[in-house]
Amino acid sequence: MALLEVGDLRVEFRTARGRVRAVDGVSFQLDRGEALAVVGESGSGKTALALAILRLLPEPPARVTGGTVLLEGRDLLELYPEEMLPVRGRRIAMVFQEPATALNPVLTIGEQVAEAVRLHRTRRAVRPLVLEALAQAGIPDPERRLGQYPHQLSGGLRQRVVVAMALACGPEILIADEPTTALDVTVQARLLDLLTFLRARLGLALLLITHDLGVVARTADRVAVMYAGKLVETSPVRPLFAQPAHPYSLGLLEASRLATTPQGDLATVAGSPPDLTDPPPGCPFEPRCPRAGRRCREEPLPSLLLGGGRAVACHRPLVGP
Amino acid sequence: MVATGLALLGAVAGAAIGAPFLAPVHPEQLSLAESLEPPGQGHPFGTDYYGRDVLSRVLFGARVSLCISLAAQLVALIVGVALGAVAGYFGGWVDALIMRSVDVFLALPDLLIAIGIAAALGPGVQSVLVALGLVGWPGLCRLVRGEVLSLRERDFVQAARAIGAGDWWIVTRHILPHLAAPLLVATSLGLGSRIMQEASLSFLGLGVQPPVASWGSMVHYGLRWLSRAPWLVVFPGLAIAVAVLGFNLLGDGLRDILDPRLRE
């Protein structure tokens, strides 16, 4: 049994213009110690997916309208709200995008990490565990940091504190939502190394949400490409980079490699994502897809298994089954 | 501004605490031979109809007025913060219910509510406390609700939720500490209003009852001698003015210091 198994998850946001299907039938598995990256552009539903797993979506306007989130076979969506408290942090922890605002400005670093320990592990002898978590997160001289406030730390250190808070709960799964977006490039690389190290050392399963394929290549075992609320391709990392099966994956790869068109322009994926209040009946990528045909416009997406642990949702994939 | 406010309040608090030592005579000691003596030797603030020393009564009145105002503000704070936090944090129909009650209270003049409640419960210290507490909470409730409404959307609240913190933990550890500054200002300004309202209720005869004196009741009883013995009204009136001015200066000064938006 997989550690975490998401099945046909659907999330809607009610807006003034109608219902937005932010997550539209997403399924994937995450095994113990595995690193799965979910990539996609802004608004593709990556964060909504992460928040839905932890049941942290603001309701209303958001609502989970279907599917299952099985943690070792137990459906988190069926739990009472109080039953989620010991799951959050202790089983599944989350690291947020913006370290500058994810820390409470009026509490010291030590107090905030201690909070995570107190909530899940022990109320006495908290300090050694706090120091251990800070050290695990690669914070030099943790003793000195205990009494400091978030504004006294650099962005990279703050993100490490956020990671330390997550680790202090002793989780099995770490969801990292764009953990490096707010950091500069050298600090990014060190944080990714830290996540990789923690995976090996603590056996953490990692669900990494990013729009950066460089991050994926460096950190993940498997990758799931998300577009307009759907997973359009899931694959181990190497085959995807070598030979993407979905035209959108190819587009993303070319854009991130800074590939150029024959005219010398930077390669981009032309057009913009569809209006999710009124999604097209066929493939959501069809209007932007260079390979699109009549079937793509009219028929719902198939899900093709390609072998080697790959799956693609496309009528005309670049790699045949 | 803060310094002036603190100096005035220090004087008032000093008078209240040191009353037994500062007062020339016991505030309730009658001396009919010295009825209605003007301020002068022996009685710096003069005496009332029964020959009681006005200075002593003003000093001891400070205790009564300050204690009642502080207790009433505490009642208002507890009710206002609790209901405001609940309304702002949970939203929905709870919020609607609480905020519509706030609207009702704010729509009626404060003094009218206080008079109504004090009259319904009968004169006395307890009814003044209840009345002033009920007058004070709606403003605080609205203030707290607004702050909570914006704080609960902050990322660190979401982050706390993500490590498994429950609602009580989030509100008490992550939200309410951020309210310290605005509540300090509101409390200081509120205390000024409470002093005034306590004096008003006592002036109307709905507050503390004789022989105990608060500043308001001294003005009330002094009124009938106003033309013959104005000092019966002037000195307690001045005391009220000094205390209210002190709280207002302190509150305004604190606001200037604590609210970064007002800083140059």
A chain contacts of residue B169, beta-carbon cutoff 8 Å: 119
Is pLDDT at B22 greater than 60 in this prediction?
yes
For B229, the token pair is 């013995």
Tell me, what's the pLDDT at B86? Answer: 94
Q: Across chain A, what does the average pLDDT equal?
A: 82
Residues in chain A within 8 Å Cβ distance of B160: 104, 115
Confidence category of residue A262, pLDDT binned at 50, 70, 90? low
Which residues in chain A are contacts of B154 at CB distance < 8 A?
Answer: 101
Q: Find residues 137-166 of chain B whose CB sits inside 8 Å of chain A.
A: 154-156, 158-166
- What are the distances in angstroms from CA B120 to CA A238, B213, B220? 80, 22, 20
The answer to whether B159 contacts A103, with C-beta atoms less than 8 Å apart, is: yes
The proportion of chain A whose per-residue pLDDT surpasses 90, expressed as a percent, equals 0
Q: How does the average pLDDT of chain B come out, rounded? A: 84
Interval B133-159: pLDDT, tens: 888 899 999 999 999 998 888 888 888
In angstroms, what separates the C-alpha of B55 from chain A's closest C-alpha? 47
| Domains within chain B, CATH numbers bracketed | 2-12+57-262 (1.10.3720.10)
Structure tokens at B41: 């030797």
A37 pairs with which residues across the strands? A208, A223
Judged against a pLDDT cut of 80, whether residue B6 lies above it is answered with yes
Query: What is the structure's pLDDT at B10?
Result: 82
**Lowest mean per-residue pLDDT among B59-63, B158-162, B210-214:** B210-214
CA distance A30 to chain B (A): 19
pLDDT level of residue A106 (50, 70, 90 thresholds): confident
Q: Mean pLDDT lowest for which of A207-221, B6-20, B111-125, B178-192? A: B6-20
* Single pTM value for the model: 0.79
Q: What is the pLDDT of residue A258?
A: 63
Of B158, B163, B177, the CB nearest to A93: B163
Q: What is the pLDDT of residue B93?
A: 92
Does A280 or A56 have the greater pLDDT score?
Answer: A56
Q: In chain A, positions 93-112, which contact chain B (CB-CB < 8 Å)?
A: 93-94, 96, 98, 101-107
pLDDT at residue A277 in the model = 74
The answer to whether the beta carbons of residues A152 and A122 sit under 8 Å apart is no
- Give the phi and the psi of residue A21 in degrees, each rounded to 5: -85, 90
Task: Please judge whether A89 and B162 are an interchain contact, meaning their C-beta atoms are less than 8 angstroms apart.
Answer: yes
CB–CB of B203/B217 below 8 Å?
A: yes
* Strand A230-236 with A74-75, pairing: unpaired
The predicted complex's ipTM stands at 0.78
Order the strands of the A74-75 sheet from edge to edge.
Answer: A18-30, A4-15, A62-71, A74-75
> Looking at chain B, which residue has its C-alpha nearest residue A168?
B163
Give residue A259's pLDDT. Answer: 61
Q: Is A90 on the interface with B (CB under 8 A)?
A: yes
Model confidence band, residue B263 (pLDDT cutoffs 50, 70, 90): low
- Is A62 touching B (CB cutoff 8 A)? no
Q: Which of A82, A88, A101 sits opposite B161 (nearest CB)?
A: A88
Nearest to A54 among B162, B169, B173 (CB): B162
- CA separation, residue A281 to residues A24, A301, B2 (Å): 13, 9, 67
Residue A87 contacts B, CB cutoff 8 Å: yes
pLDDT at A260: 64
**pLDDT exceeds 60 at position B241:** yes
Answer whether B232's CB lies under 8 Å from B221's CB.
Answer: yes
The pLDDT of residue B43 is 73
Range scoring the smallest mean pLDDT among A70-84, A94-108, A257-271: A257-271
Binary contact (A162, B159; C-beta < 8 A): yes
Q: Say which residue, B214 or B19, is predicted with more confidence.
A: B214
CB contact under 8 A, A88 and B163: yes
Which strands make up the sheet holding A35-39, listed edge to edge?
A92-95, A173-177, A205-210, A35-39, A222-227, A230-236, A310-312, A304-307
Judge: A56–B173 Cβ closer than 8 Å, yes or no. no
User: Are B173 and A115 a contacting pair at CB < 8 A?
Assistant: yes
Candidates A107, A162, A169; nearest CB to B164: A169
Q: What is the mean pLDDT of residues B66-72?
A: 89
In tens, the pLDDT along A174-224 reads: 898 887 777 777 777 788 888 888 888 888 888 988 888 878 888 888 999
> Quick check: B264 pLDDT over 60?
no
Q: Using one digit for the tens of pLDDT, what is the confidence trace for B31-56?
A: 777 776 677 777 777 777 676 777 78
Of A90, A98, A102, which has the smallest distance from its Cβ to B164's Cβ? A90
Number of C-beta neighbours around residue B25 at 10 A:
16
| Maximum mean pLDDT: which of A50-59, A301-310, B19-28 | A50-59
A53 interface with B at CB cutoff 8 Å: no
Query: Contact A101/B155, CB-based, under 8 Å?
Result: yes
What pLDDT is stored for residue A269 in this prediction? 74
pLDDT number for residue A149: 87
Contact A96 B158 (CB under 8 A): yes
Question: Can you tell me the distance from the alpha carbon of A23 to that of A138, in angstroms, rounded to the nearest whole number?
Answer: 34
Can you list the domains of chain A with their CATH numbers? 4-91+171-312 (3.40.50.300)
**A214 CA: distance to closest CA in chain B (Å):** 26
Cβ-based neighbours of A173, under 8 Å, separated by 6 or more: A3, A4, A30, A91, A92, A93, A204, A205, A206, A207
Backbone angles phi, psi at A125, to 5 degrees: 50, 50
Residues in chain B with CB shorter than 8 Å from the CB of A104 are 156, 160, 174
Looking at the complex, report in whole angstroms how far the Cα of residue A93 sits from the nearest Cα belonging to chain B.
Answer: 6
| pLDDT 10s digits, A119-150 | 877 777 778 888 888 888 778 888 888 888 88
Higher pLDDT, A156 or A31: A31
